[in-house]
A and B are shown apart, each in its own frame.
Chain A
Amino acid sequence: MAMEITQILLAAQSPDAQIRTAAEESLKQFQEQNLPHFLLALSVELSNEQKPPASRRLAGIILKNSLDAKDSIRKEELTQRWVSVDPAIKFQIKESLLRTLGSPVAEARHTSSQVTAKVASIEIPRREWQELIAKLLTYMTQQDTTSSLKQATLEALGYVCEEVSPQDLQQDQVNAVLTAVVQGMNQKEHSSEVRLAAVKALYNALDFAQTNFENELERAFIIKVVCETAVSKESEIRQAAFECLVSIASTYYEILEPFMPSLFNLTSNAVRGDEEPVALQAIEFWSTVCDEEIAIQEEYGGADEGSSSLHHRFIEKALPSLVPMLLETLLKQEEDQDQDDSMWNLSMAGGTCLGLVARTVGDAVVPLVMPFVQENIMKADWHNREAATFAFGSILEGPSVEKLAPLVHSGLDFLLNAMKDQNSHVKDTTAWTLGRIFELLHAPTSAYPVITNENLPRIMAVLLESIRDVPNVAEKVCGAIYFLAQGYEDEPSSSVLTPYLGDTISALLSTADRTDTTNSRLRASAYETLNEMVRCSNLPETSNMIAQLLHEIMKRLNQTLELQIISSEDREKQSDLQALLCGVLQVIIQKLSNSDSKALILQSADQMMLLFLRVFACRSSSVHEEAMLAIGALAYATGSDFAKYMPEFYRYLEMGLQNFEEYQVCSISVGVVGDICRALDEKVLPFCDGIMSALLKDLSNSMLHRSVKPPIFSCFGDIALAISENFEKYVPYAIPMLQGAAELCSHLDASDEDMLDYGNQLRRGIFEAYSGILQGFKNTKAELLMPYAGNLLKFTEAVFRDKNRDEGVTRAAVAVMGDLADALGPTTKALFKESHFYSDFLEESFQSDDDQLRETATWAQGMIRRVFLS
């Protein structure tokens, strides 16, 4: 076999599909028959200088894919398989890999450095292959090392740093790596290939350099070398060096102070004179500093005391030079940049950075930007007008309303006129700026209302005309209408829009129908803006119009079912459109069912449900999700009448619950089960066997995204509350799941914020499940739950002692104590007597600011007291 592997690897790249398939089949067989020898053969192939580069490359790729996968479960499998390979064979493979780093064939070296890092990512955390770093470093220090070996070695070091986490390397290893990498950047000693590899390796090693950055001399040295590299003559190296600076600004913001003057000069020269890829990184440096300072300000909520030592106010200090530099970039637009989504150029980066600067310093940015706006806004060249508008739009977030309101007032009319500019870039940016004004400054109750009864007619007229402009402008106009409507969300002011609702709905519907763009975003924006118009409309004033819209959308949804579907692309388009239309229906259902106009929904419920079922029949996950959401809203609106749809709908609900790959679909289906339980009550019983078994399977499925699991527990509670004592047969399955999850809660990593959050969701779900079951069983089968009461109280106590519980968990936990006493009555007396924590828990709850929590605690206390008095 070893003899043939070259042929097979070459055959696997043959243009002839038959040969290729056969080769792939033999590779697969070899792999299945004897994995260790297969891996060894691949490594031998990769390292053999006699073999053709093509077979070596594929050998390396297959080797790499045998060690790592994107999917975390597959990855774990591969890791385990590698770990179990005979150590002698693993040793041979690793030797081959290191040997290949010195290959004269660049592709082989490169592949080998990647595979080396993959092996390291498995072995180093397990405290194996500890000699790797030392070996790689020898290559760097040996006199006779070729330039290509050095380059491959640095690349390998970089990849290793990217793959393993900082705690897996010892400090002396880190020191040695940094030394080697920094030396590799030395301009005098090394070729440009070596230096580029060194800078890129440094980029990955920066995370490891925590200790080194704490040392003043060491960090000064590292930054000095990076700055020198940032003016190398090779632009690729300069770009990589600026990338390092960006990373340093983000990771080591607190030590930047002494370096800022030289960093300002360095970046400023790059922005003004360097090639675009380098200049973009230089702007990115300042955007990153803004990110850091915004994060500090948000964390300390503007309380200067606490943040002063951490907050260096670099942006504020650099402002007088930084802002002019950014304004210059705004004039470097490219033709047609608004049509190309993948475009990222200097003016875009500069404007984005200016927006971040405004958020960082607030008012101080305004006087530095306004002269530029005034000077350029009337100029003949569209570049000036667009740049002026973009500058103005960029600083609308951050400065105070007091500062901005007068400017917006005097500028609004100008902007509305500019919607008729002859250049479409200007119109695009103007529409975007109007959207920003409405998003950020428009509030009818504000002391500085942007939109008044006087200017609203003109604003609406301009928007409804401009929505017919070219697609990219129309999309921005949709955004402006969206935020304009959002400002009137509150009931009393929503009447203001009533006179415009009819025209706006028609304009949005025609916009959704436009055929002059292939980009689906305009249509999505139009429908989503329609949603916001519906949400913010005034009822009952507009209920007739919304009822008309409901019929129009149903008509459109019906039309999607008749579309001719030939390709998978057609299918996808149909599905996207159905998603948007189902979204509008969901919003309408939700809007009307909370009002006196609910009858309008009930009249059309049958038709809507039929449409949703037909949409399901087209089978596409994203529609599935939107139709599912709409059905949940419909179930709430129809109440127990929903029962008649269940026989047809049930199989789709079950499909949704089983769709663990698309966890959003699964999660929404779980939520809809809750809606249905509340709508149907005991009428949901015939479907509960199926639902419960799907839910239990989901819980045991390790592939299902964890975020779906807490809602499943809450859903148990919904079901139990609906079907009362009929939940009995599920108790032997549900309770162990709850107990298992409760057990899991105590083992979650408390240092990981995501896990803390998850732990809280899980706890809340568990408590909601118990609450529903206890209340559901209260009068009939409560005694069945007695065996679990002790466990539940212990869990509650553990939660009480957990410092990380949030208020939602606290409420659910306090409620469950009351439910326990309420449902089980006197039998819990002894339990509560032993559990002293409950009175502390109640006491703590009484001190809370949360009315709902205090009320729940009062109730729980009453229930427990009743137990004691019995």
Chain B
Amino acid sequence: MAPPSHDLRRAYKRPAISDQQRRRELALLRQSQHRADSHHRARQLASSLLPSSEGPLRTEQEIEPEVEPGTEPEVEPEARVLDAPRAAKLGGAEARRWFARQIMLPEWMIDAPPDLDRNWYVFPRPAGKRCFVVSSNGTTVSRLRNGSVLHHFPSSLPNGARTKDKSGPSSSYSILDCIFHEPDQTYYVIDMVCWRGYSLYDCSAEFRFFWLNSKLTETGACNPPSTYHKYRFSIVPIYECTEQGLHAAYSGVVPYVKDGLLFYNKQAHYQTGNTPLALVWKDGACSQYLLDTDSKGQVPSQQQVVLELQEDGKLTTSDDPPHVFGCFDRDFIQKSGLRPGNLLRFAIRDESVRLVDGKMEISDLQFVGRSNRARAFADSHSKVLFQYAARHSPLRIEDLFACIRSSPTDEDGSNDIEMAG
């Protein structure tokens, strides 16, 4: 028959220090945070650039086509299946590879497409670092083509800073394809991949550019930098590729240093990796970087190419499927200590090059050495070919105008529609 105990009241004049319990709780808290972090790392790595979407799955069919969420980027299977924990341990090498594969890479324009004036846009490409900008959860991260982080900053993009903008779940992503232009510290947006969780991967370039133009300015991302907006974003003038459009893109004044022209097929979806539906073209007038430089920044007397060494000794381009330019024998590989996956620089003599059915063949590759570490990929076939052409019989701007003029045009198709405001 226990009498009511005073034990509860015994806290009399005793400071409520129970540090041991506190230590235990703090330790548990720390452990549970670290557990959550490691699970998060394992998961997020594989999905950090998956287009995310709002709302439950089953409404997928009900959503209007232009904002259809959720189809995912076309990526190679091996890029999808990441050994997440291991990649995390490798200091993000796998992660970089993953990011690197997310960007749409234009082929180099060897010949002008015949429907250039009807089905293509053209715009002057800003000189700078091509990157993916992801805003989510109150922060913005830009990653270079090789996957490494360029900036980590607050921005006015959706969920791009820790502000009280509650226009959607803070976890939803926006992803922009940009070029960071050093002289004015501005991100020039050249494509929109994901907006407030809606994926634009499977939308036509026409729709993506429309969406980019109408949405980006709404956010204030184009405003000058401020506390919660560290870098200015800007759009580039996009033209229909008519005679006037091409002229405007080629010789029009833009606030940035030009580095060639980009041509985008209007119907093409955002396709990761190399695509012939986006094309880059340069000449000496609109780009300082027409001819590739070597590791010292000089234009070498002989053209150089960067190729990837394969398991079987083959030396290939970055295309899918890869184009084989040559082969190393096993002895040489062993002696030189090279490993499959290494990116190697070669010089080519003009006389060793032959063009067969639009493909280039090189009979004599001269090994120069390993390529710059920052490179993530070998050259593409179209780039090698473009560089070759640039040294011998370049595709000139006159050729492009001629192509447009020679094609039958609709009356209304000749009007310029400048989409950039």
Contact = CB atoms under 8 A, between A and B. Distances in A.
B13 A590 contact: no
Interface in A28-54: none
Interface stretch (A164-172, A644-652, A796-804, A815-823): A815-823
A306 B324 CA distance: 79
B85 A287 contact: no
A65 interface: no
B260 to A, nearest CB: 35
Contacts of B1: 158-159, 162, 200, 203-204
A344 B31 contact: no
A479 B15 CA distance: 5
B43 A779 contact: no
B170 A851 contact: yes
B23 interface: yes
Contacts of B111: none
Given A243-B4, A629-B24, A855 B137 contact: yes
Contact of B15 (A439, A678, A851): A439
A136 to B, nearest CB: 16
Interface in B1-26: 1, 3-4, 6, 9-17, 19-20, 23-24, 26
Contacts, number: 200
B27 A724 contact: no
A851 B137 contact: yes
Contacts of B43: 775, 815, 818-819, 822, 859
B46 interface: yes
Nearest to B1: A200
A858 B197 contact: yes
Nearest to B12: A348
Contacts of B34: 636, 674-675, 678
B55 interface: yes
Interface string A514-538: 0000000000010111011000000
Nearest to A521: B14
Contact of B30 (A280, A527, A636, A858): A636
Given A587-B23, A854-B169, A772 B39 contact: yes
Given A590-B26, A818-B43, A842-B56, A479 B17 contact: yes
Given A778-B83, A851-B171, A866-B72, A349 B30 contact: no
A827 B46 CA distance: 18
Contact of B10 (A344, A475, A771): A344
Nearest to B3: A243
Contacts of A838: 57
A495 B195 CA distance: 43
Given A479-B15, A778-B84, A854 B171 contact: yes
A187 to B, nearest CB: 21
Given A532-B19, A629-B27, A854-B169, A714 B35 contact: yes
Nearest to B71: A869
Nearest to B55: A846
B53 A861 contact: yes
B214 to A, nearest CB: 24
A862 B28 contact: no
Nearest to B43: A859
A349 B17 contact: no
Nearest to A244: B4
Given A158-B1, A629-B24, A863 B47 contact: yes
B407 interface: no
B39 to A, nearest CB: 6
A26 interface: no
A858 B39 contact: no
B12 A815 contact: no
B38 interface: yes
B52 interface: yes
28 contacts: A159-B1, A200-B1, A203-B3, A243-B3, A344-B9, A344-B10, A525-B17, A531-B19, A626-B23, A629-B24, A633-B27, A636-B34, A678-B34, A678-B35, A714-B35, A717-B35, A717-B39, A722-B85, A772-B39, A775-B39, A775-B42, A775-B85, A815-B39, A851-B137, A855-B169, A858-B54, A859-B52, A861-B57
Interface of B: 1, 3-4, 6, 9-17, 19-20, 23-24, 26-28, 30-31, 34-35, 38-39, 42-44, 46-47, 50-58, 60, 70-72, 81-86, 89, 137, 169-172, 197
Given A203-B3, A633-B27, 16 more contacts: A240-B3, A243-B3, A528-B19, A529-B17, A532-B19, A629-B24, A633-B30, A674-B31, A768-B39, A779-B81, A779-B84, A851-B137, A858-B52, A858-B171, A858-B197, A869-B72
